[in-house]
Amino acid sequence: MTSPASPKEDVQFLALLVHRGHLDREDAESLMADLRTGARLDDLLRALPGWDAERVETLRRTNAGEIPEIPGYGILDRLGTGGTADVFRAREKRSGRLLALKVLKQEFVGNAATRKAFVSEARLLERLEHPGLVKGYGVAKVGRTYFARLELIDGRTLLEILDDGSALGEEAALRAVLEVAETLRYLADEGVVHRDVKPGNIMLSSSGRMKLIDLGFAAEGQDAPAPGESAVGTVAYLSPEQARGGASADIRSDIYSLGVTLFHLVVGRLPFDSSDDRELLRMQIMESLSSPELKGRDLSPHLHYFVEKMMAKDADVRYQDWGELIDDIRENLEGRRSLDYSRGARPPRRTRRR
């Protein structure tokens, strides 16, 4: 049996219960007043409606649900955390295989919209089949815990690689973008717009494969954003039309975000950056792309052309479909050994079939 918590530990645990959505602030303030009189937090919690000794013991043992307890799985370690969910490496006890468990944070369990989005993403990943997507194996609920079972990928995100301080070489970046574009073409063929393409959502597996690992903002046909919907996705990678609200977002918005990703991979910074999200949205809509690094570094004019065409403010000026972009990048990569891609060479002009 564990020894009683100290008053200081009780206060810290109470704050954690509020932070993780187990208690609202008003209840916590009432309990805090009782703690000041010398009462024990566990006794106070057990007296609350809907609480009992087992729930209190479980929350103590799991640090307020930070470490999930899911029957049939052994949690090994935390792989990452996002805005609404944590991802853990886990072993399935029955089969012994390793999986990634994506667990909805307790503070969002009561939010119907967030809960619906979590379940929808899990079901979408379960339905889709592509080597460039993390595979989903279903979603389930145990008590108040919602979790999705996912393929465990050994590797690092492109953002983690960038955060190590090194940008990718031009050819490596183009090969990465080509693989991601092929996966996004598959999604488009399935009627899905990703809406959150960025280095943090792209993982380089130990086998060398690029994998999209998050479809949390993805929209299918009938779930496409309605007029007036607020922008969704990561602000720094949003297309101008997404920044305006999202109603006109389509695959060309994903092409824009992949263009920002390409820029980030080769330059090592974002094309537009600000600590103020509203200012960043304004820059995405109003400011032209200006990067001395693209011209000043040993980067080919072809790369400059790809970035500018993918990131055109006017969606009608961008690549209009994934096949067009994929063909251009593949042709560029295949022709590098025989064509002059040194600085000063002009991008090839291609005749488009209408």
- Give CA–CA dist 281/243, Å, rounded: 6
User: Which CB contacts under 8 angstroms, 24+ apart, belong to 71-76?
Assistant: 71/142, 73/99, 73/101, 75/101
6 DSSP assignment: P
- Give CA–CA dist 266/306, Å, rounded: 12
Nearest-5° angle of CA 322, CA 326, CA 332?
155
- Give CA–CA dist 346/337, Å, rounded: 16
Give how far Cα 272 sits from Cα of 237, 257, 269, 288, Å: 9, 12, 9, 10
CB 203 within 8 A of CB 157: yes
DSSP assignment of 216-264, as one string? TT-EEGGGSPPTTPPP-S-GGG--HHHHTTSTT--HHHHHHHHHHHHHH
- Alpha-helical segments (H) within 87-211: 112-127, 158-163, 170-189
Catalytically active residues are: 196
Can you say how many angstroms the Cα of residue 287 is from the centroid of all Cα atoms in its chain?
26
